[in-house]
Amino acid sequence: MKAILKYFILVLALTFFGTGGQAYGQATENHNSKITRNLEIFNEIYRALDLYYVDTLAADTVIRWAIDGMLMRVDPFTGYYPADDDDLRQMATGKYAGIGSYIRYHEKLDRVVISEPFANSPSLEAGLRAGDIIISVDGKDIKGMPTSKVSEMLRGETGTTMELCYRRPGTEGIHTAHITRRTIQVPSIPYYGIMDEGIGYINFNSFTTGCAREMRNALLQLTSQGARSLILDIRDNGGGAVNEAVDIVNLFLDKGIKVVYTKGKQPATNHEYFTTSDPVAPELPLVVLVNGGSASSSEILSGALQDMDRAVVMGTRTFGKGLVQALRDVPYRGELKVTTGRYYIPSGRCIQAHEYDHNGNIKAIPDSLQKPFYTRGGRRVMDGGGIQPDSVVTTDTLPTMVYDLANSYIFFDWVTDFVNRHPTIAAPGEFHVDDSTYADFCRYVREADFKYNRRSDEAMKFLRQIARMEGYLEEAEQEMKALEAKFAPDTAKDLERLRHHIVPYLESEIIGRYYMQKGVLRHTMPQDKVYRRAVDLLRNPDGYNAILKEGDKE
């Protein structure tokens, strides 16, 4: 127990004092004495808990509760990763050792199923397919296990072999596969290509180690294939390595430009990042697609290109993460990821959208407190609240039924059955769900007695309660009944009414089973509202240039 307590105290001390063991210059003696006093209190409380609590508690678990409880109140980005936790390494490198497949939980079966094997992965080479139901891993039945636990079992040391037993819908018996784990590289660029004449497209989903090199190669190939403009899609890209973001910005901006700089409590956390080489495509017209899932390094990339008037940013406002983290070693080969400062992009603005009171509370910075900054060409941009696009394009709201259906096992199972009945389908962009296929899907959904969360029902119940409380119910009863009749559940009617929403999801899921993620992107992008707007803008040079030269927006 003493070793565990010393370990915990070291983690806390490193958090507050750094690996050198010296207090911050700003810290007062009073502040340091408070730290010492509270660590002594914690030590005594845990000692008493260990001695007197009625049950024996696992030290690793209880101390981890304390660590996580402390860090979660600091901000959402500070966290502790012990030596046996692969999450940090995968976030940084995009690599892990395993079988190479996405998995998902199937609520009806209470089991995890294969949802998509990766291209050229051990799982695909072993013959696994989307829809396969995992029965056991190395002889251990996984029924009832959450996805995270099964994922843990599928991972392991590179070169080790595991036995996976599974059942395939439409076939008899249990199948067995012996799969040798190897290093899996999750691609940072799932797809790139020329989908509209002269317009290149790159889908970029993570800033992992080496992604700038991948981006450079993709850009060079697209320009060699005749791309005269580019759409860079970083929607839902949650960020990653700052230096990779700077190197990607450098593909489009001249050498010697300050892309981002950081400021923190300690002088050692202050850094400036400059472009260091000649650009690959300094004049290529560029549209960057963003949304609320574009965060951190995605905001450095889009914000720097916006501040330098180098690209039109299109979509919806980004997440607003203007904080930067660094890794600190802790005893027993663990890592502490700690927020060390804020970052600022070329105009001088910080785009952090939230304040943390270190009590676990998060408060958005109101628009009224945002300050104006200016791009190189004089356009007005704001700090706080993320990156506001130059061209705002919102996506259509997804009906509740479609969301629940697309995430249901019924949807997944029907597609699995479709694949079993159709060995091949047309190529991405050419395949379409026809009337007979959709009718078959609707019949399957009705027979499965699909239930979905009808927000209109909830709203009507709430409206009735309010009307009753305020004395209007009797007077409004007829109108209420008419509304309830209008909103009465009718699965068959809703499936037909929402067909134009449901079919794209069906096609994406089916395409993914045959052509994987690349095929899905190739198939869905031409139907994407934001992508279409970007194509239209790049085909209109006057409109594109007008956005980049409009000066003060206000």
Q: Is the Cβ–Cβ distance between 519 and 348 less than 8 Å?
A: no
The conformational region for residue 526 under phi > 0 = left, psi -120 to 50 = alpha, else beta, is alpha
Active-site residue 307, yes or no?
A: yes
Distance CA 290, CA 317 (A): 7
Neighbouring CB atoms inside 10 A of 482's CB total 10
Q: Is the Cβ–Cβ distance between 12 and 36 less than 8 Å?
A: no
- Token readout for 241 is 């390595």
Active-site residue 296, yes or no?
A: yes
Residue type, 252: F
Which one is catalytic: 101, 115, 123, 296? Answer: 296
- 3-state secondary structure at position 95: strand
Which one is catalytic: 302, 321, 413, 518? Answer: 321
Q: Is the Cβ–Cβ distance between 288 and 234 less than 8 Å?
A: yes
Q: Is the Cβ–Cβ distance between 145 and 112 less than 8 Å?
A: yes
Distance CA 275, CA 380 (A): 24
- Token readout for 195 is 């989908």
DSSP H or E segment with residue 164: strand 161-167
3-state secondary structure 114-144: EEEECCCCHHHHCCCCCCCEEEEECCEECCC
- Token readout for 246 is 């700077």
**Which residues are catalytic, by number?**
296, 307, 321
